[in-house]
Structure 1
Amino acid sequence: MPNRVRTAVFPVAGLGTRFLPATKAMPKEMLTVVDRPLIQYAVDEAREAGIEHFVFVTGRNKGVIEDHFDRQYELEHTLEIRGKTEALSELQQDLPSAGQTSFTRQQEPLGLGHAVWCARELVGDQPFALLLPDMVFKGVPGVLRQMMDAYETSGGNVIAVEEVPMEDVSSYGVVARGAGPDEGFRITGMVEKPKREDAPSNLIISGRYILQPQIFSLIADQERGAGGEIQLTDAMQTLMTQQHFSGVKYKGQSFDCGSKLGFLTANVVFALDRPDLSEAFRKQIRHLI
């Protein structure tokens, strides 16, 4: 039986330059899909999967993320005296318990691998989940829960993947598929942003991982890669020579909210799924079109 995954890491130190000027003073992770911040969707997904400890790797001007996961006594008191019990209950349900959140700084923008390495002391010598908040998923159960099911069977390391057209593979990390079902097949290789003719498949890495703690020492010894950054993919490629990697072709829909098109699409899809908004929103869309 593999060690249980209790901790999740959320890299939230990025500058969000693709959303300037909106992100000049506000972290991109606090941009909202309908009325919930991007980071809240990732935390909700992790909680559904049984995660107990939430580690945020932040940077300068990201204090509002820490505030978001803290109590706001004045706001709660105002909602209570105004009888807005539904809003108050939702705020309280979203709040992690005392001691469940930890925050550490990535002091230099040295890439995803470095951001993960910054969480090493908080994660310790245990497997952990890694969730990139830019990626928002719509699926039941959530993507990380689907990955946990595979992990409980195979152990090792698990990566969520999805299919894209072959002409798009050069924009992503791509895995080579070995034997096994969609719910947990063996990954035999991976390559970052390959040319179409060099891609081992059309299965791309989708921003959700379960990793063993040995990844930290590999990152520490790793030279800088593309863009002068420490790449997580490089460390995973080395770890793959030592440990088992599984891929989960998850059931659901993904939205890359690091892009404006993905962000706008997510807002439309999630709004259409809301009972309190869908009918009126559909009318507005029809009117606009």
Structure 2
Amino acid sequence: MTRKVTKAIFPVAGLGTRFLPATKSVPKEIMTLVDRPLVQYAIDEARAAGIKEFIFVTSRGKGALEDYFDHSPILEQELRKKGKTELLDTLKKTNMDSGAIAYIRQHKALGLGHAVWCARRLIGNEPFVVMLPDDVIAAEKPCLQQMVEAYAETGGNMVAAMEVPPEKSSSYGMLDVGEDRGSVVSVKGMIEKPSAAEAPSNLAVIGRYVLAPSVLKNLNKMKSGAGGEIQLTDAIAEDINNGNPVYGYRFQGQRFDCGSKAGFLQATVAFALARDDLRDDLSRYLGNLSPALNAAE
């Protein structure tokens, strides 16, 4: 029987240099997408998938991220006094119960695999999730929930997968596909950031993983891989070599790369247009903007 997954690792130690100067004082993970920080989208998705314990791998300068999940009694009191119950409910959803959240420091930027390895003692011998808040996925059923339900049938390891153009393969871990069953594919190998010519398929790994504890044991032995970093992809590929199954999951939904400025802006527009309270004003603005842009070309 497949064990229930209740723990998630959020690697958030990166410096967010692509968003400087904003990230000089504001951790990228709490930059707002419409009116919610990036990390809140990840937390909400994890909760929908049944995650109960949240482990953040942080670094120096992430104090504001840690403070974000604290209760704010004075603010709550003011909202209650003014009868702003809807805002109060929204605020309470950002709170984390005592003991549900933990912070681990990654003192050196040695890669995603190293960040996950830093949390090994809090995972123990249990299956676990890794979520990258930069990858925001708009979906009717949250992506991680889709994966956890599929994982309950397959066991092993599971990574979220999406098709990318050949020229983009050097930006992703790419899957070498065995059997293709539609939503679920069996994986016989993984290559981190290959050239278009070396990519074994067009299926790329994106920031959602459901992993067996054996991956942490593999990370204990890992040396630096692509880019001189310890790659999580390599540790998952090692599990295949050790006879433990790995599956790719073609999720239903649209993924936005909010680690890039263009992706962040695209997500902002898409999520705003999905909101009843913003759709009309924004649609009107965008409609008026298009003729002006066309005339300027």
Tell me the TM-score normalized by structure 2.
Answer: 0.95
Matched, 1:233 2:233: yes
SS at match of 1:196: coil
CA distance in 1: counterparts of 2:252 and 2:194, whole angstroms: 25
Q: Is the 8 A contact 2:187 2:246 kept in 1?
A: yes
Q: How many residues align?
A: 289
CA distance in 2: counterparts of 1:67 and 1:226, whole angstroms: 34
Q: CA deviation at 1:140?
A: 1.7
- Cα 1:227–1:179 shift into 2, 3 Å: closer
Letter in 1 for 2:106: Q
CA deviations over 1:58-88 (Å, ceiling 9, x no partner): 1111111111111011111111111111010
CA distance in 1: counterparts of 2:63 and 2:29, whole angstroms: 12
Q: Is the 8 A contact 1:182 1:250 kept in 2?
A: no
Q: CA deviation at 1:98?
A: 2.3
Q: Which residue of 2 aligns with 1:259?
A: 260
Q: Is the 8 A contact 1:175 1:203 kept in 2?
A: yes
Q: Which residue of 1 aligns with 2:189?
A: 189
Q: Is the 8 A contact 1:159 1:209 kept in 2?
A: yes
Q: Is the 8 A contact 2:190 2:234 kept in 1?
A: no
Letter in 2 for 1:288: L
Q: Which residue of 1 aligns with 2:286?
A: 285
Letter in 2 for 1:134: D
Residue ranges of structure 1 left out of the alignment (5+ in a row): none
Q: CA deviation at 1:182?
A: 2.6
Q: Is the 8 A contact 1:55 1:101 kept in 2?
A: yes
SS at match of 1:200: coil
Q: Which residue of 2 aligns with 1:211?
A: 211
SS at match of 2:23: coil
Q: CA deviation at 1:119?
A: 0.5
Q: Which residue of 2 aligns with 1:2?
A: 2
CA distance in 1: counterparts of 2:183 and 2:241, whole angstroms: 22
SS at match of 2:161: strand
Identical counterparts, % of pairs: 50
CA deviations over 1:222-271 (Å, ceiling 9, x no partner): 11223332111111111111210011100100000000000000000000
CA deviations over 1:120-172 (Å, ceiling 9, x no partner): 11111100000001100001211111111111001010000001122322221
- Cα 1:235–1:254 shift into 2, 3 Å: same
Letter in 1 for 2:284: K
CA distance in 1: counterparts of 2:234 and 2:70, whole angstroms: 35
Tell me the TM-score normalized by structure 1.
Answer: 0.97
Q: Is the 8 A contact 1:182 1:247 kept in 2?
A: no
Q: Is the 8 A contact 1:162 1:203 kept in 2?
A: yes
Q: Which residue of 1 aligns with 2:174?
A: 174
SS at match of 1:240: helix
- Pairs within 5 Å for 1:48-87: 48-87=48-87
Q: Which residue of 1 aligns with 2:144?
A: 144
CA distance in 2: counterparts of 1:9 and 1:181, whole angstroms: 28
Which moves more between the two structures, 263-272 or 119-128?
119-128
Q: Is the 8 A contact 1:136 1:257 kept in 2?
A: yes
Letter in 2 for 1:45: E
- Cα 1:212–1:203 shift into 2, 3 Å: same
- Pairs within 5 Å for 1:148-167: 148-167=148-167
Which moves more between the two structures, 158-167 or 261-270?
158-167
Q: Which residue of 1 aligns with 2:251?
A: 250
SS at match of 1:107: coil
Q: CA deviation at 1:13?
A: 0.5
Please give the root-mean-square deviation of Cα atoms over the aligned residues, in Å.
1.1
Q: Which residue of 2 aligns with 1:272?
A: 273
Q: Which residue of 2 aligns with 1:21?
A: 21
Which moves more between the two structures, 68-77 or 227-236?
227-236
Q: Is the 8 A contact 1:175 1:190 kept in 2?
A: yes
Which moves more between the two structures, 67-76 or 258-267?
67-76
Letter in 1 for 2:164: V
CA distance in 2: counterparts of 1:282 and 1:151, whole angstroms: 39
- Cα 1:227–1:176 shift into 2, 3 Å: closer
Q: Is the 8 A contact 2:136 2:258 kept in 1?
A: yes
